[in-house]
Amino acid sequence: MIRTKLCDLVGIEYPIFQGGMAWTATGDLAAAVSEAGGLGIIGSGQAPADWVRREIRKVKDTTAKPFGVNIMLMSPYVDEIMHVIVEERVPVITTGAGNPGKYVGMLKEIGTKVIPVVASVALARRLEKVGVDALIAEGMESGGHVGEISTLPLVPQIIDAVKIPVIAAGGIVDGRGLAAALALGAEGVQMGTRFMCADECTISPKVKEMILKAKDRDTAVTGHSTGHPVRCLENKFTREFSRMEREQVPAAELEKLGAGRLRLAMVEGDTENGSVMSGQVAGAVKKIEPAAEIIRDVMEGAERELKRLAQLISS
C-alpha cells in the first residue's frame, strides 16, 4: 500500500490525480476517478460557469469523495467560474495556462485547496509565496498547452526550490511512472492521456481509437509562434497549422484558425480537422477500461516496481 502526504492533504486513497482536460474531463469521468480513490478533476476549459456548476453537481450526486475543478486561466469566464467554486464549496482546484495568484486568498478562506500547474521553477517559487497548497510540475511530454522542460529535469528542480508537496505530470501512464515520480521526490502523479481512454470518459470513441492506434512519435507541438504551444496527435490540422507557422502567418490569424478545434475533436469526433490534444504516452495506452481499473493497475505496478528496486540494494 502506497500512501503519501498528498493523500492526507486532499483526502484521497491513492496519490493519483486525473488531469482536468478541457472538453474531455466532464463530471462523469471525475466522479468515476474520485469514487475509485483518486482525485477526479472537471476540466472547465473555456466552458461557461453554468456548465461548470452542472458538472460539479453531477459529481456530488455520484460520489461523496473529494474532487477538483481545473480552471484554465486564459478562459474569458474565470471570474464567474471562481464564484461557482466558492458557492459550491469545491474541495480542490487546479489551474493551468497562467498565474492564479490573485484568486488564492479568496479560495483559501473557504478551505479550497489550491494546486496550480506550473512548467517552470520561477512560477513555482512565486506561487509558494502566495500560499498555494501544492504544485503540479508538468513536463512538456504532456498533451495540450505545454511548457519547455521535460518532466525528468523539471520535477526535481521544482522540488528543490519549494517546501510544499509537488505532483509530477507529463509522460506518466503506468505504475513505473508513479514509482519514478516518487523516486524524484514527488508526492503523487497527474495523468491525462490514459484517463481519456477510461470507459467513463465521454469524448468521441474516434478519439479513443486514435490514441489506441498511436505510436511513440505520433504527437507534435504546434503554436510556438503564437506563444501558446500545444501538443496534439498529428493530423491534417496540425500539418496545416505547422505549414502556416513556417510561412510566418501572423499569430492572430493562427489563433483564429485554432479556435473551436478542441471541441471539434473531442465532442464531434473529427480527428482530422480537430485538435486531438494528447501526451507523448499515447503510444503506451493499450485499452479502454474503467477508471477504477486504471487506478488499480497503476498502484499495483508502482508497488511491484518499488519492491523490485528495493531488492537491488545489497546490504
- In the complex, which residues of this chain contact ligand TUI (CB under 6 A)? 22, 45, 72, 74, 96-99, 117-119, 123, 138, 144-147, 228, 230, 262, 277
Q: How far is it, in rounded angstroms, from Cα 70 to Cα 21?
A: 8
Q: Which is nearer to ligand TUI, 125 or 228 (CB)?
A: 228
Q: Give the residue from 130, 135, 122 showing the smallest Cα distance to 106.
A: 130
Q: Which is nearer to ligand TUI, 145 or 208 (CB)?
A: 145
Least distance between ligand TUI and beta carbon 138 (Å): 5
CA angle 78, 29, 266 (to 5 degrees): 70
Least distance between ligand TUI and beta carbon 309 (Å): 30
Least distance between ligand TUI and beta carbon 118 (Å): 6
Q: Give the residue from 94, 130, 135 showing the smallest Cα distance to 112.
A: 94
Q: Which is nearer to ligand TUI, 13 or 234 (CB)?
A: 234
Q: What is the 8-class DSSP label of residue 38?
A: S
**Which grid cell sits at 142?**
504532456
Least distance between ligand TUI and beta carbon 181 (Å): 17
Q: Which is nearer to ligand TUI, 123 or 159 (CB)?
A: 123
Q: Give the residue from 313, 39, 17, 306 showing the smallest Cα distance to 182.
A: 306
Q: How far is it, in rounded angstroms, from Cα 313 to Cα 204?
A: 47
Q: Which is nearer to ligand TUI, 45 or 177 (CB)?
A: 45
Q: Which is nearer to ligand TUI, 62 or 235 (CB)?
A: 235
CA angle 305, 306, 308 (to 5 degrees): 65
Least distance between ligand TUI and beta carbon 98 (Å): 5
Q: Which residues have C-beta within 8 Å of that of residue 77, sequence separation ≥ 6?
A: 44, 46, 47, 48, 49
Least distance between ligand TUI and beta carbon 313 (Å): 36
Least distance between ligand TUI and beta carbon 135 (Å): 11
Provide the strand spans (E) within the chain.
16-18, 40-43, 67-72, 92-96, 113-118, 135-138, 144-145, 166-169, 188-191, 219-222, 230-233
Q: Which residue is nearest to ligand TUI (CB)?
A: 144
**Which grid cell sits at 124?**
513555482
Q: Which is nearer to ligand TUI, 12 or 140 (CB)?
A: 140
